[in-house]
Amino acid sequence: MKALVVSDNHGDRQILSQIVNEWQGQVDLMIHCGDSEIDSTDSLMKNFVGVAGNNDWHLGYPGDQVIEKAGQHFFITHGHHYRVNFTMTPLMLKGASTGADVICYGHTHQLGTMVDHGMLVINPGSISLPRGPYRDIGGTFAVIDADPHAFVVDFYDRQMHRVPDLHVEFSR
């Protein structure tokens, strides 16, 4: 199954529209990890399983979501309630407590992925306001291809181009 993960567009509706137009029908699930700054009732946001970021408190999103798709269990959060700027421990403990195969979060605006205790942990970075060593890409989102044997993760830029140097595969 394939899941697209995006976060932290901070009101940039156009980039989310481009992502939906390009990827709808190519992935099984679209996830938004918060700070969309777009109301949850907006028709564009109906394409995403979304959560509230620290800038979305009044827009009708849940704080976290736990969903299952094609046998994969996802824990989705923005991350600010789990102190992701300082430590991964609270996020990892929460993900484990939900039975997550995949933990998706945002907030830091820095892309990253790893597998820990059998869980894929992924931050797609900010699609509009990136930080960290990959900020010069200009914004990223991620596509996860998950099956019982592996997680394959690719990051894409705002022009919908795969960033080959960021391709990673994890055995399960």
Which domains does the chain possess?
2-171 (3.60.21.10)
Report yes or no on whether pTM surpasses 0.95: yes
Q: What is the pLDDT of residues 123-153, one digit of tens each?
A: 999 999 999 999 999 999 999 999 999 999 9
Structure tokens at 12: 């940039």
| Buried-exposed string 58-70: b where 16+ CB fall within 10 A, e elsewhere | ebebeebbbbebe
pLDDT band for 74, please (50, 70, 90 cuts).
Answer: very high
Q: DSSP 3-state assignment of 2?
A: strand
- How are strands ordered across the β-sheet holding 2-6? 49-50, 29-32, 2-6, 140-147, 150-157, 168-171
